[in-house]
Amino acid sequence: MALPTRRWDLLLIMTAPPHYNDTFTTVLRLSEAMLRRGGAVRVWACGYANMLTQDTHGETKPKNTRAPEVAYPSSAAIVRQLIAGNEGRFGWIGCTTCSAERGATNHIAEVLMRSPGRLMATMATSAKTIFIGGA
């Protein structure tokens, strides 16, 4: 007997370098919009996007010299908060191959690590898939 497959309303495949443009912000906005509607979202990080969930980031970004009293959450903290605050409706996958090639091997515990060979199966469990990033 086959186990039931988790269905996701939206799969976001993110491949752009993490600080090159507004890709991470775009992924966050799309995710939050779908979550507000009651949907389920999964993000698959490939390439340098795997740097976003490194546990070495800590909980906050470095201090901003213009507003040193304000502590902004790190990308890893934001992902952790989304996973914890959405009761199984938000998930983050790190690509094992991309992570290993870039030395991004210390992800926060909440990130699922998957082989790129599982990408097609992950896409099959999603109602919609959006590719965001570089080629």
Q: What are the tens digits of pLDDT across the range 67-124?
A: 889 889 999 999 999 999 998 999 999 999 999 999 998 999 999 999 999 999 999 9
93 within 8 A of 14, measured Cβ to Cβ: no
Residue-range domain boundaries for the chain: 8-132
In what helix (H) or strand (E) does residue 35 lie, and over which residues does it extend?
helix 23-36
Q: What are the tens digits of pLDDT across the range 9-58?
A: 999 999 987 777 889 999 999 999 999 999 999 999 999 999 999 998 88
Q: Which fold has domain 8-132?
A: Hypothetical Protein Ychn; Chain: A, (3.40.1260)
Q: And the tokens for 78?
A: 């934001």
Cα separation, 126 vs 6, whole angstroms: 9
